[in-house]
Amino acid sequence: MNLNSKFGLVFFLARKGFRQHFFASLVAAFSIALAGGLLLSTMKIQKQTQTSFNNASGGFDAVLGARGSKLQLILNALFHLDASPGNLPWEQYELIKNTPGVKEAYPVAVGDNYLGYRLVGTDPQLFYDHEWKKGEKYKLRQGRIFSEMAKEALVGSFVAEKLNLKIGDRFQPYHGLNFKEDTQHEDVYVVVGLLEPTGTPSDKVIWIPIKGIQLMEGHDKEMAQSVSAVLLTLKGATGFNLEIRYNRQGNQATFAWPVAATLASFFDKMNWFRGVLQVIAYVIAAVGILMVASTMHSSLNQRKRDFAILRSLGSSRLIVTGVIVCHSLMISLLGVLGSFLIMLSIGSVTQTIIVEQTGVLLEGMNLQLEDLWVIAGIILTGLIGGLGAAVNAYRSELVDNLQPTS
């Protein structure tokens, strides 16, 4: 450090001050970090969750299901959450499958689980043809895809890891979407394949042939001729036509389309929560400003004598003021660093929870250009906190603090 430059001297003295008031500086930096971390986290998690959920819709444009809520239909059929709103007759599947403009149609049936993880019955062709993301088809880590008429299972990567399922393992499913020990079916399934991770809810599912769910021992006979939903990819403007056919003119089924808009409405409903978190973050930011102000004020009081000594050595008022500003800046920068760490920690915990609950893998919580304003805000917060003390330092008279002795 070149002490002969003004900046070098200011930085040296500010560093000394930081060390002398280490604990108070650290507490001030922590409160700023908490506010910044919370703000960054709420912004990022909200955005990343929405983006990740949109990307995790498995490459489908729409879902056809029983009459009811579009959101419930999407959550149940694509994200394997929530209860099924009911069943559709098999004919409805045949009908939409053969509708011009429908590119792909895969029936799904739900209603059973294995140790809490859903069994989803579908057409094995899904795993051969469908792109769950543009240009990405399902890949097998091991084994093969189940046969249409066999009691075979293809296990999502998350479930395989959690339940330690391997090729050749046998299991008996349980009835219902939630695990209850006394509801075990007699049917025995064998694991024939393990899927590569996709970061989508399909990782949290045990896939079996649709006939498996339909004909499972103990199921209602009507179920043999019905499906829970149909997953669709569409061509051109088919979505508009089907929307009118099913939602406005018909009363047999619900056509949930477009998936992204329905999900957006879901996230809009959760905006209040984000608002609450942001208010908390702003309150913490205000506390942060007060903490910095208090730290700098007490530091100034204790260092008035030091500053007077510096003035007596010939330092200008600006150098002394610069020391306070630089000390505030150090607290702010530490706050910025802390904000990132807190954001990464909150992000990591949230990611784990969301993956556990939904199978949706959040994209990385990396910093982006748009976060610069938050960083600038954090730095500004620290500087505002130190402003009062800096002005006081500038105004203080040397002789007030080095009283003559005779």
Partner 1 sequence: MTAPSEQIIIDPLQFLQVTNLKKSFLMGGGRNRTVVDVQCFNLCAGDQIAIFGNSGTGKSTFLNLLAGTLKPDSGSIMIGETDLTGLSESGRDRMRSQNLGYVFQSFHLLQGCTALENVLVAMAVAGIANEDKAKELLSLVGIPEKESSLPSQLSIGQQQRVCIARALANNPKLILADEPTGSLDPENASRSMELLKSLCDQNGCALIVVSHDPNIISCFEHSVKWEDLNKVGELGNES
Q: Report how far residue 252's alpha carbon sits from residue 68's, in angstroms, rounded to the nearest whole number.
A: 10
- Asked if 126 and 182 touch (Cβ cutoff 8 Å), the reply is no
Among residues 144 and 395, whose Cβ is nearest to partner 1?
A: 395
Phi, psi of 233 (to 5 degrees): -120, 145
Among residues 10 and 33, whose Cβ is nearest to partner 1?
A: 10
Q: Does 399 bind partner 1 (CB under 8 A)?
A: yes
Binding part of the chain for partner 1, among 9-17, 113-121, 128-136, 241-249 by CB under 8 A, reads 9-17
Closest distance of CB 320 from partner 1, Å = 11
Peptide bond into 258 cis (omega under 30): yes
Binding part of the chain for partner 1, among 163-171, 190-198, 322-330, 397-405 by CB under 8 A, reads 397-405
Closest distance of CB 294 from partner 1, Å = 20
Give the residue among 348, 324, 385, 272 at the shortest CA–CA distance from 35: 385
Q: Pick one of 164, 249, 368, 405: the residue that binds partner 1 (CB under 8 A).
A: 405
Q: Does 391 bind partner 1 (CB under 8 A)?
A: no
Q: Report how far residue 261's alpha carbon sits from residue 190's, in angstroms, rounded to the nearest whole number.
A: 39
* Helix intervals (H) in 223-371: 238-242, 259-269, 271-312, 317-358
Closest distance of CB 384 from partner 1, Å = 25
Closest distance of CB 396 from partner 1, Å = 12
Q: Report how far residue 167's alpha carbon sits from residue 309's, in angstroms, rounded to the nearest whole number.
A: 78
Q: Report how far residue 348's alpha carbon sits from residue 365's, in angstroms, rounded to the nearest whole number.
A: 8
Q: Report how far residue 378's alpha carbon sits from residue 29's, in angstroms, rounded to the nearest whole number.
A: 10
By rule CB under 8 A, what count of residues binds partner 1? Answer: 29
Among residues 135 and 404, whose Cβ is nearest to partner 1?
A: 404
Q: Which residue has the tokens 């590119």?
A: 103
Closest distance of CB 366 from partner 1, Å = 38
Q: Pick one of 4, 164, 251, 368: the residue that binds partner 1 (CB under 8 A).
A: 4
Within residues 265-324, the interface with partner 1 by CB under 8 A covers: 305-306, 308-317, 319
Q: With 0-12 CB in 10 A as exposed, 13-18 as middle and 19+ as buried, what is 256? A: buried
CA angle 171, 173, 230 (to 5 degrees): 120
Among residues 285 and 310, whose Cβ is nearest to partner 1?
A: 310
Among residues 12 and 267, whose Cβ is nearest to partner 1?
A: 12
Within residues 17-46, the interface with partner 1 by CB under 8 A covers: 17, 19-20
**Given the rule CB under 8 A, which residues bind partner 1?**
3-4, 8-9, 12-13, 16-17, 19-20, 305-306, 308-317, 319, 398-399, 402, 404-406
